[in-house]
Each structure stands twice: as structure tokens, then as C-alpha cells.
Structure 1
Amino acid sequence: MSNDDRIDYIEFAVADIAAAKAFYGAAFGWTFKDYGPEYCEFSDGRLTGGFTTLAPVSTGGPLVVLYSSRLEATQDKVASAGGSISKPIFDFPGGRRFQFRDPSGYELAVWSRD
């Protein structure tokens, strides 16, 4: 299967790589591979991306959306890991979702079909 024309990598500029790793590891179980003090690759088990301190933090841009089959439990994990819920669970065409800000200020969403 070709990866042409598909999202291949997502990179976040963060102020603190250790804090980003702690949050995403606790909230979503992501794993990490360090490439020195200014760059860390993450994996969610399907997609990889990176955290870097080499660029200024800019929290605008497209909304990254994750999936969860246990939406309430995931919202609780996000809050427990230090994320702030910006839009609690709500219905939308196709399912339900919530939105949150990570410790660096990025807004992401998590959705479920149920």
C-alpha cells in the first residue's frame, strides 16, 4: 500500500518535551524515541510524529482528531493527565466528541461513533 497523498507525520513545537511526553503517555499510552534534547518522536501505534523545541510554540492550525471507543473514560484520562477540557462531550453528525488543550496549549479532539 502506498503512502502517497496521506498524512504521514505530525509535528508539535512544544516548550517542554518531558511535559509533552508525560501528558500524551498518560492520556493515550503513546511511546517515544528521543533524538537529543530538542527532538522526540512519538508513536500512537499507527502514526508517528514529533515534539520539538527548535521552533516557537504555535497552537493554531488544523484540528488533530483522535478516536476512542470509550469517550468518557478518555476524557477522564485527558483531564487526569493535565489536559484542560475546552469542549466537553457533545453530539455531532456521525457520533460524539470532546475537545481539549494539552499542556503546551494545542487544541485536539477525540471522537467516537457511539
Structure 2
Amino acid sequence: MESNKINYVELPAKDLTLNKSFFEKAFGWSFQDFGTEYTAFENAGLDGGFFQADFASRPQNGAALVVLYSSELETTLERVKEYGGSIEQEIFEFPGGRRFHFLDPCGNEWAVWSKLA
């Protein structure tokens, strides 16, 4: 581990089982449970976890936006919808790429981006 570098991120989840199922199916993540109110995610590019909470992480409430990368943006968008996520903002272009925003089943906002072809 490197000192003074982002090492871990934690996000709220109203339903740990529901969020675990969504991220396993839509993104291929794996999980390790630590009791009934916390699960750590693995194989996600950055280590982190979900903690049991009755609120959600949304940028408009001051939370950081976690952005994932996909080389197949449209396919990822369809997988998000198929497995229970909801599209918050459809695919749009920005300098250097394209992205969309979605809410996971517990209401946390995420984004997925891809380089311009």
C-alpha cells in the first residue's frame, strides 16, 4: 500500500443483499461479508464496501461521484438496466469521452465513462 493515496471507499446501502446481487451481475464484482451490516467489494478496481444505512450517496447532496470505466458503454448501460439499476442521465459526450449516470438499487449515484472512438 502507498501512503497518502486513496486506498478504500465506503458507500451506504439500504439493502446489502440487493446491492451485492446487482454489482455481481452487472459488473462482476465479488463480496466478503463482515457481519450483517457491512460487505466489502472486490474486483472493482478500487477496494471498498457498503455499510447498512437509510440514506444514499448523491453528488447533489455533497457526496463524491464514483466513476467506473467501460470499453463498451452501451452494453454496460443495458446491463445496469437489466439488473435493477436506473438511468439517471443518458449517455452524453464530454471532452475526451462519453458517459452516463445511474442509480444502484439502493439509490447511490454512479457514472460510467468510455473514451471517444
Fold-level similarity (TM above 0.5)? yes
CA distance in 2, matches of 1:72, 1:81: 14
Note the C-alpha offset of 1:45.
4.6
Decide whether the 8 Å contact of 2:100 with 2:113 is kept in 1: yes
Q: Kindly report the root-mean-square deviation, in angstroms, between the aligned alpha carbons of the 2 structures.
A: 1.3
Q: 1:68 maps to what in 2?
A: 70
CA distance in 1, matches of 2:110, 2:87: 10
Q: Give aligned pairs, total.
A: 112
Decide whether the 8 Å contact of 2:12 with 2:108 is kept in 1: no
CA distance in 2, matches of 1:46, 1:104: 21
Give 1:78-97 correspondences, 5 Å limit: 78-97=80-99
Give 5+ residue unaligned stretches, structure 1: none
Structure 1 residues 18 and 45, CA gap change in structure 2 (3 angstroms): same
Secondary structure of the residue aligned to 2:67 is: strand
Structure 1 counterpart of 2:79, from 77, 80, 105: 77
Q: 2:50 maps to what in 1?
A: 51
Matched to 2:70, the amino acid is: S
Note the C-alpha offset of 1:96.
0.5
Note the C-alpha offset of 1:56.
3.9
Return 35-44 or 72-81, whichever deviates more: 35-44
Q: 1:26 maps to what in 2?
A: 25
CA distance in 2, matches of 1:46, 1:102: 17
Matched to 2:38, the amino acid is: Y
Q: Report the TM-score, using the length of structure 1 for normalisation.
A: 0.91
Q: Runs in 1 of length 4+ with deviation above 6 angstroms? A: none
Note the C-alpha offset of 1:13.
1.4
Give 5+ residue unaligned stretches, structure 2: none
Q: Report the TM-score, using the length of structure 2 for normalisation.
A: 0.89
